[in-house]
Amino acid sequence: MSIATRNSTRRRQLRIDRPVWPTEREPARQTRRRDLWYSTADGAAYSAMVGLGEAYLPAFALAAGMGQVSSGLVATVPMLFGAILQLAAPWLVRRVRSHRRWVVSCVVCQGLSLLILPLVSVHQSAVGWVIYAAATLYWAAGLSTGPAWNTWIESLVPRRLRTQYFGRRGRISYAAVLGGFLAGGVALQMGHARGAELSAFFFLFVAAAFARFASARFLSRQSEPYEGRITDRRVGWSELVSQVAGQPSGRLLAYLLAAQVAVQISGPYFVPFMLRELNVSYLQLSALVATVFVGKFALLPVWGWLVKRIGPRRLLVWSALAIVPMSSCWLLCQRVPYLLGLQFVAGGMWSAYELATQLMFIEAIPTEKRTSLLTVYNVGNAAAMAVGTIIGAAVLTVCPIRFVGYLSIFWLSGVGRLLALTLLTRVDEPPAEDPQSIAEHNVTIDLNESAARPAQRLYEAA
């Protein structure tokens, strides 16, 4: 046997007999799988908290003795104060030097704010300021998590997995919202039948708080690849204005804020209108909310197919036109079967609007600017919501007949949405790029805060 043949045989034997050690990628793969599982569990727990607690805040304000106008304002005014407070979040994240520690701390504070609300059912003195203070803390903590979470989660989910993973995570989150909201509706209906409405709210908020604490636990178990190496940098107002002024994203932002003002003229007063003017039960209210989600689920695949053929701008224009008459349709009939059908259609139209907005809005925010820019955007969005809510409150206050006031704000909201459409004429199609790749790039934007907002979706459908 030649030396070359002998060496070749020896090499083959070494390859066969050599022990197979775990590769370096294996631990990373296991860590990623664990992180994704905990992130999905966090989304489900967070969504359950929203369905059990946040969505019933206006109804709780009504049950606690606040007026119909005040209970509508509690849905948005504390959000504005909370958005202003969260402006300090980017600076605090840099001081903490950890997105994970900051997010977990804010989530725990949000859970604690929910435990303040049940105190109203025990001590009914100073109901108004306690509810507003708890809601402000809730929104300040919740909004402060969003920008930091978006920056953090991008480091955990590889780009090639984002579309599939966040789609699955979103479906689980929506299911948790619906489950929480329907469970809350059943509990409140039973409490109302027994004359123990506030006691039912007590248990709902306690359950919502514990769901948020579970969310904090799941977040704390996730890894943070860049802990101690925060690259976020502060984006000043001048840089922010120069970045969006005259750009397609800036013109789109102007439309979105104008449309938000119009929507919120009627949106926050939907729950008082249903519970006090139409005297619907909590179960019927829950069914109306669930129908919005059914409409979204049923028609979202259609919009995904359509946007690849007509582009996101045309889908946005069509959906923006479709949501204009939605609030005015409440003037036609107030029977529950009709309202259920209207909610289904509204849910479908809003799903198209949200998809088109996601594909067009933030096309490329550098990672180091994301926390600051989304923090500032939160303030603008909350301010637009507060302005619309105050306009609606003014109309309801000056109208001597409450029912006429509600019909007026529904009509005014539709007019405002129509006027906002004029701003869309200046919005251009995004740069030629595959919509699927745009979705993959931006899929993490605001998912933690917008993955589930049953109260908000309900308001928009109004």
Query: pLDDT tens across 38-74, in order?
Result: 999 999 999 899 989 888 888 888 887 777 777 777 7
Q: Rounded CA gap, 447 and 40, in Å?
A: 12
- What's the pLDDT score for residue 229? 55
Which domains, from first to last, does the chain contain?
39-222+235-461 (1.20.1250.20)
- What's the pLDDT score for residue 6? 53
- Percent of the chain surpassing pLDDT 90: 13
- What's the pLDDT score for residue 447? 38
Q: Rounded CA gap, 327 and 345, in Å?
A: 12
**Whether pLDDT at 402 is above 60:** yes
Instruction: Give exposure, 208-232, as e/b (b: 16+ Cβ within 10 Å).
Output: bbbbbbbbbbbbebbebeeeeebeb
Q: Rounded CA gap, 110 and 104, in Å?
A: 10
Query: pLDDT tens across 275-297, in order?
Result: 888 888 888 888 888 888 888 87
**Whether pLDDT at 305 is above 80:** yes
Q: What share of the chain is helix, strand, coil (3-state, %, to 5)?
A: 80, 0, 20
- What's the pLDDT score for residue 438? 43
Tokens of 171: 């479906």
- What's the pLDDT score for residue 271? 81
The single residue listed with the structure tokens 């030649």 is 2
